[in-house]
């Protein structure tokens, strides 16, 4: 499946901002919550935030949205 551009500049900018915020939140969760906790749940949440952030930044750079590729219309 080819990743054809399906978002405009506004969508790219929005996804880049959301991706960076998710990455920052994931890193903050790792440093301030996960290392201090004795259970795996904080690590799972933090890693999911980081992985999600990386994916959203990838979408912004590629100009491709996975949700739009599935046929769902998004406002941005």
76 found inside a domain: no
The number of beta carbons lying within 10 Å of the beta carbon of residue 16 is: 15
13 found inside a domain: no
5 found inside a domain: no
Provide the domain limits for residue 43.
Answer: 25-67
- CA–CA gap between residue 30 and residue 45 (Å, rounded): 9
| Number of structural domains in the chain | 1
- CA–CA gap between residue 41 and residue 68 (Å, rounded): 31
Supply the pLDDT for residue 1: 63
55 found inside a domain: yes
Closest CA to 66 of 9, 10, 26, 11: 11
34 found inside a domain: yes
pLDDT per residue as tens digits for the range 34-60: 999 989 999 999 999 999 999 999 999
52 found inside a domain: yes
């Amino acid at each position: 499946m080819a990743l054809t551009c399906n978002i405009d500049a506004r969508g790219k900018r929005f996804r880049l901002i959301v991706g960076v915020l998710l990455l920052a939140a994931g890193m903050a969760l790792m440093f301030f919550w996960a290392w201090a906790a004795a259970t795996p749940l904080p690590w799972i949440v933090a890693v999911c935030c980081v992985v999600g952030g990386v994916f959203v930044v990838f979408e912004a750079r590629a100009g491709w949205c996975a949700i739009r590729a599935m046929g769902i219309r998004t406002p941005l």
